Structure formats: C-alpha cells, structure tokens
C-alpha cells in the first residue's frame, strides 16, 4: 500500500521530533499485518508516517494496563506531543482525528487526552464521564459502542503551549439517535442508550414514585431486544454501580437539585413516549401515556395527542433527546471554565515534569489578549466517515490545504486511479456528514432538519416561559430553534482550518 507520508509530512518537518517512521513508498499487506500484530502484543503504536499512526485496540485492551501505566487502550503519545508542538510553534490550529477501523474499538478520547504534555482540567474527564451514558450503548460486538458522529475536546493553547481554555462539543451531524433510541435492532445483545438503564437502576424511592418508573421490560424501547443487563463477558459490569458514578459526575459538573430533577424528568418522558411509537397503539393507552409525558415535560397533553401524529412524536422524542445532550454538554463546559478560572488543573498525565512536558498547574495570568491556537482531539467512531475524511484529507487536491499547496507549486506525487476511486466512493457514502454541496444525501438531510425544526417550533410555542423544555428548545434567547447549531462544530470547517493528524 502507498503511504501518505509523501503528501502530508511537508506540513510537520520543522515540528517533528526524531522518530522511527515506516517507509512511505510501498508496504505490502502482509508486512503491515505482521507489524500490527507485533505492536499489538507489545501495546505499542505503529507510525505509518509523520502524521498518521495505527494502534490496535478492542474493548479488551481498554481494560488492560498498558506499558506506560495507563488504562483505556493504546494511544500514540508521541503523535500527540508532535501535534502540540506543531500547534504552538507554528501558531496553527491542529486536529487529531481518533478514527476507528472496526466495531469493537473503544473510545480513546480520555486516554489520548491523558497522554498529552499539558495539564488537562480534571473536570474535563468528569464531563466525559457524565456525557458518556447519553452517547454510548451496548452492542453484541462492543459493550460501549459510540452512537455519535463526532465528539471533540477543544484545547485552547497560548504560544507557549500552555492551556488557557477547554471545551467539549458534538459535530453538527449530532447523535445517531436511531441506533441508540428509536430504532435499536430487535436482537439480543443490543441495548438503547446507557442513560435509560442507569435511570432505572439508581432511582430512589422518591424518584420512582414521582417519575412512575417501572422495570426495564415494561418499556417498548427497551424490551424489544430482551437485553436488560451488561454483557455477561464483563463480570464486573453493573448498571447500578455505573449509575452511581454517573450521578456523581453529574453532581461535579453542577447538575444537581432542580437541574437533576429536570434532566431525569426529560429522560423518563422520552422513555415513556416510546410507548406511542407504531400505528397500532390503543387510543386509551395513547391518551394515558401522552398525559403522563406532558406532565413530566410541563406541556399541554393536546400538543402530543392532537398536534403531533405518530411520526412527529418519534421525531420529537429524538429531537428532545439531542437537545438534552446539548444542555448537559453546555453545563459541563461551564464547569470546565470555572475550574480553569479558579486555577485548578490536573498535573500533566504524561509522566513528565512540568519543564519537560509543557504542563502547568494554573492558567497563566494576563492571557486575555494573547495569541492562542486550538488543538482539537476528535473522537470519530464511524468507520466509513473516518475513512472518507482520511482519504479526502490526504489525497484530494481539489479542496483545502492540498489545493492551496497545488496552486503554490508545491510538488506532490501522482495519486493512482484506484485510490481516487476508493476516495470518491467513501466520500459519496458520507456526503451528508461531509456537507458536500448539491449532493442528494445532503439535500435529504437538510429536509429532515427543516421538518425537525418546524416541529420543535410548533411545540416550543406551547411551552411555558420558565419551563425546562423551553430552555432545551431555545437555548439562546431570541434566536429560535438552535438544535444542531448552537454549541456544535462543522466537520468540514474543522478539517479545513486545521493541520490534521490521524
């Protein structure tokens, strides 16, 4: 296989530390597989070239302590250091894409953040723990499968490489609500989003009474897979214990008291609204469920029974879920900002001292007007989307920095027709997520979003001015429905404005 080093390494020549990089001219599949087997057994990364590294991980390796003393899976700490060096020395935004090549890949976002040579706020890890149950579910191949289309940790650095800000955000493509909520495969081994099981496993007697919670098998959204517990091959996994940790994380980022009750009410309402899915629901059942859901959402029952049909209720259920996740992320980001403002940072997790690692214990004073750069760590679980992004970033000379280099006369090797064809197919398969103009998939996605926005507007005008649901639908006063926009990032804008590492 042809390595992309000849086309990409020109960006990082001056910021690259000496490193054994694999030859980029030709590499046979057998040689690559043998090399990957070797690095897997040793828990080490494999450098394809200066900006691309391969690591072999499964859910099993994520629970094993690696050679560097970390858990969570194998990551390339050297690539992270090089990305950090490049960002601060070149004053150029960087993006490290954590892609996936198979369905059993664990999330490497937390392990990779901990390997960076900077001091990362402890609240950032807490926030990831609080957000995780909303974005992950159990599948037969992965006990913690990501159901989002991109989750980014954005680290704001000054030109000394010191952390001045941090935040989390979802991509504008949002969450795969179908796989985790509305259309979970009706097969044993699958579960809906973890948050629903955590709610039922950890609810107090008061919460059970107030929310009228039942056993998991009583809910249509959960019972169709007949899977209510974590996989048996994880003997230490327990929903009740995980739910306690989840609630502790929520409390640490400020979601407690009335805020927690509001959040749990929405989660319970979504779970109950699943009883209205399908066209054969009894009229009395529909009326009773909608009345109960309306009470939890502080909404008029007629909005659900008279102003929304079956498909609209399903769309509303998914939309409210995404809006709730955006709200949790916003609260998490506020907690991270407060920790940074108060000067509380974790020590650099790289095992280096401050002088060698660039990590600091408190934010540098007087940086408000200083030049800064962003280093974005992007968790991208979609196999096909990650492939499309990588191929397009490396081989497409018609867009982005590749086009600029071509116009500036920077020489590059000719790309073979088979690679171009593979890249084109991968990009077309993910046209909507890549926001390709004039593509059928992009237009269809825009139509779906328009219908969703219209529905939310219809429901939003029926909410009380001080209701929690109204704050979810209208997160910014006076700016209408912002779902998929407010607090989100565009994948293509991110890639187009950053030096990309894989």
Cβ-contact 363, 163 below 8 angstroms: yes
Confidence (pLDDT) at 29:
84
**Domains of the chain and any CATH numbers:** 57-382+430-502 (3.40.850)
Instruction: Please report, in angstroms and rounded to a whole number, the separation of the first and last CA atoms in the chain.
Output: 17
The pLDDT of residue 377 is 97
pLDDT band at 2 (very low <50, low <70, confident <90, very high): very low
- Tokens, residue 410: 């920077």
Residue 18 has pLDDT above 50, yes or no: no
pTM: 0.88
Distance CA 345, CA 37 (A): 37
Q: How many other CB atoms are there within 10 angstroms of residue 475's CB atom?
A: 18
Range 105-123 average pLDDT: 94
More confident of the two residues 36 and 197: 197
Angle at 62 between CA 252 and CA 183, to 5 degrees: 75
Contacts of 247 (CB under 8 A, 6+ apart): 202, 260
Of 21-25, 186-190, 246-250, 381-385, where does mean pLDDT reach its minimum? 21-25
CB-side neighbour CA atoms (13 Å) of 194: 30
Return d(Cα 491, Cα 247) in angstroms, integer.
Answer: 31
Residue 418 exposed, middle or buried by CB count within 10 Å (0-12, 13-18, 19+):
exposed
pLDDT score for 1: 36
Q: In the predicted model, what is the mean pLDDT of the chain?
A: 86
331 — phi, psi (to 5°)? -65, -40
State the average pLDDT over residues 188-210: 95
Lookup: tokens for 10: 């020109």
Nearest to 351 by CA among 61, 81, 157: 81
Structure token pair of residue 92: 């150029």
Residue 476 has pLDDT above 90, yes or no: no
Lowest-confidence segment of 62-71, 365-374, 418-427, 493-502 by average pLDDT: 365-374
Give pLDDT, residue 344: 56
| Model confidence at 188: pLDDT above 90 | yes
| pLDDT one-digit tens code per residue, 408-453 | 878 777 778 888 898 889 889 988 888 888 889 889 888 888 888 8
Name the residue among 44, 43, 77, 78 with its Cα closest to residue 63: 43
């Amino acid at each position: 296989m042809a390595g992309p080093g000849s086309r990409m390494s020109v960006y990082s020549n001056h910021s690259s530390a000496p490193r054994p990089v694999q030859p980029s001219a030709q590499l046979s599949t057998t040689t690559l597989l043998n090399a990957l087997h070797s690095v897997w057994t040793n828990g080490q990364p494999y450098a394809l070239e200066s900006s691309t590294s391969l690591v072999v991980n499964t859910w099993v390796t994520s629970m094993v302590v690696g050679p560097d003393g970390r858990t969570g899976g194998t990551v390339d700490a050297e690539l992270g250091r090089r990305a950090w060096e490049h960002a601060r020395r070149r004053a150029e935004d960087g993006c490290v894409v954590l892609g996936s090549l198979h369905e059993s890949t664990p999330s490497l976002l937390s392990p990779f953040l901990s390997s960076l040579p900077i001091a990362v706020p402890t609240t950032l890890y807490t926030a990831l723990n609080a957000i995780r149950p909303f974005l992950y579910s159990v599948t037969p191949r992965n006990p913690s499968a990501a159901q989002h289309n991109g989750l980014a940790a954005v680290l704001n650095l000054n030109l000394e490489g010191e952390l001045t800000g941090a935040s989390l955000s979802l991509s504008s493509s949002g969450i795969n609500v179908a796989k985790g909520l509305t259309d979970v495969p009706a097969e044993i081994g699958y579960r809906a989003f973890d948050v629903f099981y955590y709610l039922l496993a950890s609810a107090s007697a008061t919460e059970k009474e107030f929310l009228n919670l039942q056993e998991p098998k009583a809910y249509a959204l959960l019972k169709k897979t007949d899977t209510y517990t974590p996989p048996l091959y994880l003997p230490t996994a327990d929903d009740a214990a995980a739910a306690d940790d989840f609630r502790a994380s929520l409390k640490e980022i400020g979601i407690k008291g009335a805020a927690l009750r509001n959040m749990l009410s929405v989660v319970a309402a979504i779970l109950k609204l699943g009883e209205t899915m399908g066209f054969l629901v009894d009229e009395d059942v529909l009326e009773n469920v909608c009345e109960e859901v309306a009470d939890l959402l502080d909404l008029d029952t007629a909005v659900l029974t008279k102003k929304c049909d079956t498909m609209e209720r399903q769309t509303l259920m998914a939309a409210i879920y995404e809006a709730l996740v955006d709200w949790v992320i916003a609260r998490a980001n506020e907690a991270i900002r407060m920790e940074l403002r108060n000067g509380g940072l974790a020590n650099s997790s790289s095992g280096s001292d401050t002088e060698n690692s660039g990590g600091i214990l408190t934010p540098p004073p007087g940086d408000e007007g200083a030049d800064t750069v962003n280093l974005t760590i992007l968790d991208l679980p979609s196999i096909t989307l990650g492939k499309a992004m990588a191929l397009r970033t490396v081989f497409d000379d018609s867009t982005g920095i590749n086009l600029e280099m071509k116009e500036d006369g920077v020489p590059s090797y000719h790309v073979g027709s088979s690679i171009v064809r593979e890249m084109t197919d991968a990009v077309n398969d993910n046209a909507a997520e890549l926001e390709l103009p004039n593509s059928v998939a992009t237009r269809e996605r825009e139509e779906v979003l328009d219908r969703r926005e219209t529905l939310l507007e219809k429901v939003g005008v029926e909410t009380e001015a001080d209701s929690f649901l109204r704050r979810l639908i209208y997160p910014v006063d006076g700016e209408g429905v912002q779902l998929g926009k407010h607090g989100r990032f565009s994948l293509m804008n991110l890639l187009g404005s950053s030096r990309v590492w894989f």
